[in-house]
Structure 1
Amino acid sequence: MSLRPPVRVALAESVGALPRGAGLAYEPKFDGHRMVIFRDAGDVVLQARSGRIITAAFPDLVDAARQLPAGTVLDGEVVVWTGGRTDFAAVQGRAAATPVRARTLAVRLPASYAAFDLLAEDGRDLRPVRYERRRERLVAVLGALGPPLQPVPMTTDPQLAAVWYETLPEIGVEGLVIKRLDQPYKAGTRAWRKLRHTDTRDAMVVGFTGARSRPAALALVLPDDDTPVVSSPLAPPLRGQAGAALPEPVPGTGTAMAPGLGEVEYRRVPPRLMAEVAQGTTRHSLITVLRLRDAAEGDEEGLVPDKGADG
């Protein structure tokens, strides 16, 4: 097939108001992990945004993707639904699962895949093709399959998009992605736009720097990504709270990008603690931890990030 992993994914630039005008398409932005699905004549490969291969973590999606025609490559978001809402803690637990635990978690926390682009069909690279045509082919490819592989909703009506923006947060949708109908798929470029309700987001704590009793900063995984980043230094009250809440570290260290410092080393912990963070408009802007909370209730024993998640 023409496309093989890893591929660079298209990205979105944050905007402060809903873009309007002719030739625009609007999609809900789900709160999960970016994933590219490759289906070739042999089998299925799953790739995270970073390029890391995560096939073993999602055996349920692998089984579903085997129904795709050979030569198909999808771009989208993997989510886990709990209580009628997308659950980032749950999907991060799935992404961090060891291969031994992955099958059990696939039954208890089944994944869904919200596909928003078709990068290849029948082995043909569709990235140079306008979005409007790629969308038509995406719906045609997935229409006969149904969940857990399904296309995200899309509209060209800005009034309906505004209704989505106001109503869908109750199911965990964090905003909208806006694309031009005539646009090719621009890998590695912020050619799309995204409108989020707030500058705050939930992130999974996967490690810390400094002393465990009073950590200096936290290593975090943000929605739509799988590569840890380091927060700005914690405020003094949060250092004590984090020290009391952090799980016991697991063997080994990771490295992650810290704004202004570059790559730094951190101690790894199981993904059991969430942080509400304020983030700038780019991935490597300052990330400030506002508060901490427990991850969703559930049996997370054994969910330890694999070494590949260290970026």
Structure 2
Amino acid sequence: MVWTLPEPMLAEPVNNPALPPGFAAEPKWDGYRALLARYADGRVVIRSRRGTDMTAAFPEITRAAASLPAGVEFAMDGELIVWEGGRVAFERLQGRLNRTAAGAAGMAAQWPAHYVAFDLLRRNGTDPDLTAQPYTARRTALEELFTDQALAPPWTLCPSTTDPTTAAEWLEWSAVGMEGLVLKNLRGTYRPATRAWRKYRVAHTADAIIGAVSRSLTDPATLLLGRYDPTGRLRYTGRSTVLPRPLATTLPARLSPAGEEHPWTGRTFSATWGAKAALTVVLVVPELVVEVRADVSRDSAGRWRHPVKPVRLRDDLAPADVPLFGDDTTTSLT
């Protein structure tokens, strides 16, 4: 019987990380969401959340799945991640999808990926489709598959708990790149393309220096932020979301256009993380400090991967008071 991967089940953002009765919590990983099919004849398909075929982009995972015994068949939901220096390094996944087969193999050799499995949608048996089964049954089947097939790296079984204390402790994993928690109803079925899970993203407040703005000095749209490194160089650390109206109204009078001595002169900024489209910016004198609300998704150098939300100008702080580039000194909002 020919079968295909379903659309992935989705999660609705929530502001409360508390684990309610009747739910399980799993760590939220900072990687590429991926559904993986392993057919009885050994064929493997890895598909992204948006349906992109990623099979050739992750040869190490494809090879591991293909090498399982003949006849083994399953469909998993999970996350592709790369560990580097004791943390999840999302940036090591960047570019995989745009590489040739040789290029993907080179990246796999240098920064091998792991597949963190958190759901089992199909398996061998008389009733192979598990999507109508509750989470508890699917979780048991997933654990049994790991045991029966002795799955080891690059396979990783995602932790799961019904203990609120353990779930709260997982929120402290942000130092290694975990984004937060995903909360799943123990009795819930797998509902493709439906936001029936819940996700809580850990957030922090942090301080950064305004180095540039997008659009114009008189009508800034977003901020480009930086921090000094130990050598005194202003390093780009991320971009803000659209400025809230009060800050957008008061900020223009505080901005001073920079001269050619600005450390970012000649630099090109991307419109979004990993995008090729350039963003038009106006460099400013890096003298203003702003407090931002940021999630924990960073690259290995400490740059924020997602846009941060401006909170307020910090007139009480000078640029020298801002933590150095790569310093994770932040205040948790969990």
* TM-score tier (shorter): 0.5 to 0.7
Q: Give the aligned partner of residue 104 of structure 2.
A: 102
Q: Post-superposition shift, 1:268?
A: 7.8
Share of identical aligned residues, percent? Answer: 39
Task: Report the Cα distance in structure 1 between the residues aligned to 2:67 and 2:204, rounded to whole angstroms.
Answer: 38
User: Are the equivalent residues in 2 in contact too, given 1:118–1:138 (CA < 8 A)?
Assistant: yes
The change in CA–CA distance for 1:155 and 1:243 in structure 2 (over 3 A counts) is farther
Q: Post-superposition shift, 1:244?
A: 4.0
Q: Look up the equivalent residue of 1:193 and give its one-letter code.
A: R
Q: Give the aligned partner of residue 15 of structure 2.
A: 16
Q: Post-superposition shift, 1:165?
A: 1.2
Deviations 1:39-79 (CA, angstroms, capped at 9, x unpaired) = 11241111000001011110000011124453200100000
Task: Report the Cα distance in structure 2 between the residues aligned to 1:75 and 1:59, rounded to whole angstroms.
Answer: 18
1:251-270 aligned at under 5 Å gives the runs 267=277
Task: Report the Cα distance in structure 1 between the residues aligned to 2:97 and 2:265, rounded to whole angstroms.
Answer: 25
Confirm or deny that 1:191 pairs with 2:201.
no
Q: Give the aligned partner of residue 86 of structure 2.
A: 84
Q: Give the aligned partner of residue 113 of structure 1.
A: 115
Q: Look up the equivalent residue of 1:110 and give its one-letter code.
A: P
Task: Report the Cα distance in structure 2 between the residues aligned to 1:96 and 1:44, rounded to whole angstroms.
Answer: 20
Deviations 1:12-64 (CA, angstroms, capped at 9, x unpaired) = 11111123332211101110000111111241111000001011110000011
Task: Report the Cα distance in structure 1 between the residues aligned to 2:308 and 2:193, rounded to whole angstroms.
Answer: 24
Query: How many residues matched?
Result: 243
* Runs (5+) with no aligned partner, structure 1: 201-208, 211-215, 218-230, 250-255, 257-264, 280-292, 295-311
Confirm or deny that 1:246 pairs with 2:279.
no
Task: Report the Cα distance in structure 1 between the residues aligned to 2:46 and 2:107, rounded to whole angstroms.
Answer: 17
Task: Report the Cα distance in structure 2 between the residues aligned to 1:55 and 1:157, rounded to whole angstroms.
Answer: 36
Q: Post-superposition shift, 1:156?
A: 0.8
The change in CA–CA distance for 1:232 and 1:173 in structure 2 (over 3 A counts) is closer
Partner-residue secondary structure (3-state), 2:137? helix
Q: Post-superposition shift, 1:242?
A: 8.2
Task: Report the Cα distance in structure 2 between the residues aligned to 1:19 and 1:45, rounded to whole angstroms.
Answer: 36
Q: Look up the equivalent residue of 1:195 and give its one-letter code.
A: Y
Task: Report the Cα distance in structure 2 between the residues aligned to 1:37 and 1:29, rounded to whole angstroms.
Answer: 18
Q: Give the aligned partner of residue 47 of structure 2.
A: 47
Higher relative contact order (CA 8 A, sep 6+): 1
TM-score of the pair, normalised by structure 2:
0.62
User: Are the equivalent residues in 1 in contact too, given 2:26–2:161 (CA < 8 A)?
Assistant: yes
1:1-311 aligned at under 5 Å gives the runs 1=1, 3-5=3-5, 7-40=6-39, 41-68=41-68, 70-122=72-124, 124-143=128-147, 144-166=150-172, 168-198=173-203, 244-246=266-268, 267=277, 275-278=305-308
Partner-residue secondary structure (3-state), 2:35? strand
User: Are the equivalent residues in 1 in contact too, given 2:42–2:66 (CA < 8 A)?
Assistant: no
Structure of higher CA gyration radius: 2
Deviations 1:157-212 (CA, angstroms, capped at 9, x unpaired) = 0111111112x112111111110111100111111111111189xxxxxxxx99xx
* Runs (5+) with no aligned partner, structure 2: 206-213, 216-220, 223-239, 256-261, 280-300, 310-324, 327-334
